[in-house]
Structure 1
Amino acid sequence: MLVDLVKKAALAATISIGFGSAAFAQSGDPIVFGGVLPLTGWGADAGEYNRRGYELWEKQVNAAGGLLDRPVEVKIYDDASDPTTTARLYERLITEDEVDVLLAPWSDDMTMPATTVAEKYGKPMVTGGATLDAIWARGYQHVNGLLPSSYDYVGVPMRFIAEMDGIKTVAILNNELTYTTGFGDAAAKNAEELGLEVVMHETYGADTTDFTALLTKARSANP
């Protein structure tokens, strides 16, 4: 039932973009889209961009007549950049708020638990900021994504590097967050497949501001 609603909503959105406000006359209860974003904490900058995007979409769709002859409403909670809070708030959106469609969070750190909740309740979720290979390795049936995986995402620049004359070894430094660790691991995997030797692969704390020791170590490794 919900899958059919999402398909119809997507079709209606396409039609409304093409034909403007004359396509629909809003009536009835709104179709509620619920999501959780990091509006505070370390992910606040990106979370705010996502919030603006969701709210702009709400405004434009309603100005064009809504979806399925109904207005749309976006409901967003702040997870404070904490994945445990992300999961709890998605449970709330589903079981208490009874939203019709789930909007994805931002970053792999929050998307990992969010997709687990979506799959648990059979609610479709299309992720717009998730790349971590582990998200897709679980074989979930209700989760899709718009970005390439970490492996493919990093693979493009890694292949470019591998084609440069004289490049034989690489050093990889990545933040300890889930999504940046995913990029670091993906870079190491790509390097191995491309015949590049990884002479250093270090993870640093999320609050690191002084990189002197790491860069000194990388210089000694002579990548």
Structure 2
Amino acid sequence: MARTIKPARSKLKAAEIAALYAQLAAERPDPRTELDYRDPYTLVVAVALSAQATDVGVNKATRKLFDIADTPQKMLALGEEGVAAHIKTIGLWRNKAKNVIALSELLIEKYGGVVPQDRDALTELPGVGRKTANVVLNEAFGQPTIAVDTHIFRVSNRTGLAPGKTPDQVEAILDRVTPETYKKGAHHWLILHGRYVCDARKPACWRCGIADICKFKTKTPNPADTPKPAKAKAARPR
């Protein structure tokens, strides 16, 4: 007889989950992406460029790029080499330049240059995976999607909110346990908490607003409370 595998579930109780989101919402009432964009198209491009790159680095590169190419048509006119010249400071820039041109071309051919508001349609675009599609749907179109990046994956597992071995598992749990009230902002709250508080190497547990809910056992103590080692007295000359 086949063994029934129970779906992964949160380690937190419903009341704890609600309290966790309420605290994160209080800290950041108007959460937004830190990527600079002007419309759904430039957001797609920016998020596609952000893979294995920092938002700060992407913003620095796209500032001038979007000044001259903020539509699929203008991007095609700029060409792959033109795009590449603007994004050479970003990791994997050659492949990303190809994808930006290819996705722009497909948007024109299939959607008249308009970014579709559908996950399956978005993931057909070159360089756009499920995570990128979820970011665009959430940020540009206000859909309650959660894009699981490294920050959200870490926070979800560390707190016990959504423990999973893969981003898809974590996303499935988050989608199931996150109260409807918080689903729209959940993506940003979790990613920003991971970026600025729940650091990968040394989480700032002493200033974390959800530390009392978090299931992470080895909480990081406040460095200010750690006594400094006494300085050795210099030997007096004889």
Greater Cα radius of gyration, structure 1 or 2? 2
Which has more helix, going by share of residues? 2
- TM-score of the aligned structures, taking structure 2 as reference length: 0.26
- TM-score of the aligned structures, taking structure 1 as reference length: 0.27
Which has more strand, going by share of residues? 1
